[in-house]
Amino acid sequence: MPELPEVETTRRGIAPHIIEKRIKKAIIRNPNLRWPVTENMADILKGQVIKGVDRRGKYLLLSLTEGTLLLHLGMSGHLHLLESACQPQKHDHIDILFEGGLCLRFRDPRRFGCFIWTKEAPYEHPLLKSLGYEPLSNDFNGTYLWNASRDKKVAVKNFIMDSHILVGVGNIYATESLFSAGIHPKRAAGRISKARYDALAKAIKAILKHAIEAGGTTLKDFLSSEGKPGYFKQALKVYGRAGEPCVQCGTNLSQCRLGQRGTVYCSQCQT
């Protein structure tokens, strides 16, 4: 389940290998993603050159000669970079073959991802236009969260997972950062002090940065390692540990559901 650190690791992994490479051919095996891949995608991509690889939230932006590819990995998506196009496996929906033999392969078993072509300014695209702050940017801080949360009754966990407020914080990192900041996930967003939002913003930045650095260790092997970003389950203090003892106080961790998502927290440490 790629969250922002995995997407950023993917971006850094593929960028140096594909920038300035010309697309020889694209193969769409299964166009039925979150939104159907446009019918003439293969024709559109053929002959274009990759000019840049950027990220906005969990979206990857591949800048091409004549427009932009917007990719989202959903929750089961992966981009693999292959020296050559070997036999595709189940769920390998899209291949982009470059001159010279390199192959960028999009795999997504659950097909929650997307693969969209736009000729317009990409940041004006409906999917990107109303996205909130980047958590690692300097603009994002506790003051912003505090200001944006006034009068909001929604649970703080749902609040920080709202991509219109800030991007890239999914269930895992929301759960972990609330634990780190000592904030109860069900607390109403509008009833949290500025000081606590300062702590929460710092926690979000620290945890995301740490995960990106951890992923970075696999970057030099991105080609050979099939592009598996480092994902360290042992670094998780609460997510997936319901019923197990809190690492801080030993209390058994509680679980509830918030916005259809499993939520683990410590009833002692998080208030």
Partner DNA sequence: ACGAAGCCCTGCAAGC
Partner DNA sequence: TGCTTGCAGGGCTTCG
Active site residues: 2-3, 58, 261
- Rounded to 5°, the CA angle 40-72-125 comes to 70
261 near DNA, judged by CB under 7 A: yes
Supply φ then ψ for residue 233, to 5 degrees: -60, -35
Look up residue 50 and give its two tokens: 């990759």
Question: With respect to DNA, which residue has the nearer C-beta, 48 or 135?
Answer: 135
Which part of the chain contacts DNA (CB under 7 A), choosing from 40-48, 57-65, 117-125, 177-185?
Answer: 57-65
Q: How far apart are CA 123 and CA 127, in angstroms?
A: 8
118 near DNA, judged by CB under 7 A: no
Contact in structure between 186 and 258 (CB atoms under 8 Å): yes
Contact in structure between 84 and 134 (CB atoms under 8 Å): no
CB of 90 to DNA, least distance (A): 6
3 near DNA, judged by CB under 7 A: yes
202 near DNA, judged by CB under 7 A: no
Upper half-sphere CA count for residue 108 (Cβ side, 13 Å) = 25
Which of 10, 48, 158, 180 is in the footprint of DNA by CB under 7 A?
158
Q: How far apart are CA 235 and CA 251, in angstroms?
A: 19
Question: With respect to DNA, which residue has the nearer C-beta, 153 or 220?
Answer: 153
List residues near DNA by CB under 7 A. 1, 3, 32, 34, 57-59, 72, 74-76, 90-91, 109-112, 126-127, 152-155, 158, 161, 163, 168, 170-172, 257, 259-262
